C-alpha cells in the first residue's frame, strides 16, 4: 500500500459561478507537492451581498503550505479565474496573507 495521498481541495468555485480556486496535491502526508489551478474572485450583488464588490476564497490553508506549491495554472484570463493572481502570487511565495487589497495599479 502506498503511503502517498492525493489531494483535491476546492478553495472556491465548486458548485458556483466564479471564485475558481482549486488545489491538487500528491505525496506523503503533510509533505504533498501542490498545484494550484486558478485564483479567481466572484462579485457581490445587491440581493445577496449588498455593498460587497469582491468575494474571495479563504487562502490561509494554501498560504500555510506555500513552500510546497510547485505551480500555479491560470486556465484563462476572466476575472473569476485570474483576478486574485496579483494578490496571491506574491503571498504564496512569502507565506504571508495580505491584510488589504493592493491598489489596482499593482495588480
pLDDT digits (tens, 9 = 90+) for 53-89: 777 888 888 888 988 999 888 887 766 565 666 655 5
Give one word for 50, left, alpha or beta, with left for phi > 0 and alpha for psi -120 to 50: beta
pTM: 0.71
At residue 89, the pLDDT reads 57
Please report, to the nearest 10 degrees, the dihedral formed by the alpha carbons of residues 22, 28, 29, 31 taken in order.
-70
Residue 27's DSSP bridge partners are 5
At residue 97, the pLDDT reads 44
Angstrom distances, CA of residue 59 to CA of 45, 53, 71? 22, 18, 16
Greater confidence (17 vs 92) lies with: 17
Greater confidence (5 vs 13) lies with: 5
At residue 47, the pLDDT reads 85
**Each residue's pLDDT tens digit, 7-55:** 999 988 788 777 888 999 999 999 999 998 888 788 888 888 888 877 7
Please state the length of the chain.
107
Residue 39 DSSP SS3: coil
Amino acid at each position: 500500500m502506498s503511503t502517498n495521498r492525493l489531494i483535491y481541495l476546492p478553495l472556491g468555485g465548486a458548485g458556483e459561478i466564479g471564485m475558481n480556486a482549486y488545489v491538487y496535491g500528491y505525496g506523503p502526508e503533510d509533505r504533498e507537492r501542490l498545484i494550484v489551478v486558478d485564483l479567481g474572485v466572484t462579485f457581490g450583488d445587491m440581493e445577496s451581498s449588498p455593498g460587497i464588490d469582491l468575494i474571495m476564497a479563504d487562502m490561509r490553508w494554501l498560504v500555510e503550505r506555500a513552500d510546497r506549491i510547485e505551480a500555479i495554472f491560470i486556465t484563462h484570463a476572466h476575472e473569476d479565474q485570474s483576478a486574485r493572481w496579483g494578490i496571491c502570487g506574491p503571498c504564496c511565495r512569502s507565506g504571508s496573507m495580505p491584510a488589504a487589497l493592493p491598489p489596482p495599479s499593482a495588480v
